[in-house]
Structure 1
Amino acid sequence: MEFREKRLTALKRNIENLRNEMVLAYVKNGDMRHAQVLEISQLLDEELNRYAKCQQRARAAAKAGHRFVYHSRRSESVTARR
């Protein structure tokens, strides 16, 4: 699985968690305008935007025929020392 696919999967999982948290906060507080519900809603919006951007970049890369391979900085620095 490529880095972007892993990133998309992690973002999806985080989005679902935030949705569940928002619903629980609403049920607990009984008001969609409660500060806790609004705060979680804003976090959810940010994650949805990140997901859309990542998905858009992945599609553009696939369309251009690029394949992205993730290399951590640690592996690059270890390789450079040898």
Structure 2
Amino acid sequence: MPQDRKTAAREFRRVMMLVAVIAVLTVIGALWALSLIGPLTVHMVAATILGVFLSVMLGCGLFAAAFFSDKSGHDQDVTDATRKRD
């Protein structure tokens, strides 16, 4: 793996860890907001945790993967491969 790909992979892992922390804080905030409305049930807590955490991780993870693809040179490899065919 070239050096720029290693750097991009390291940065991707760092960003995903930061996103995971933000997702946990978002879940805590959502549960707190729901607790102000009324009592929390087990099912409500489970659905909120899964829904909010997975949504934040999926959305941010896809964006991070797009940036990783660009920074690591994978996009350029595909561009070069398609130009050679033409």
Q: TM-score scaled to structure 1, two decimals?
A: 0.50
Larger Rg: 2
* Structure with the largest fraction of helix: 2
Q: TM-score scaled to structure 2, two decimals?
A: 0.48
Structure of greater relative contact order (alpha carbons < 8 Å, 6+ residues apart): 2
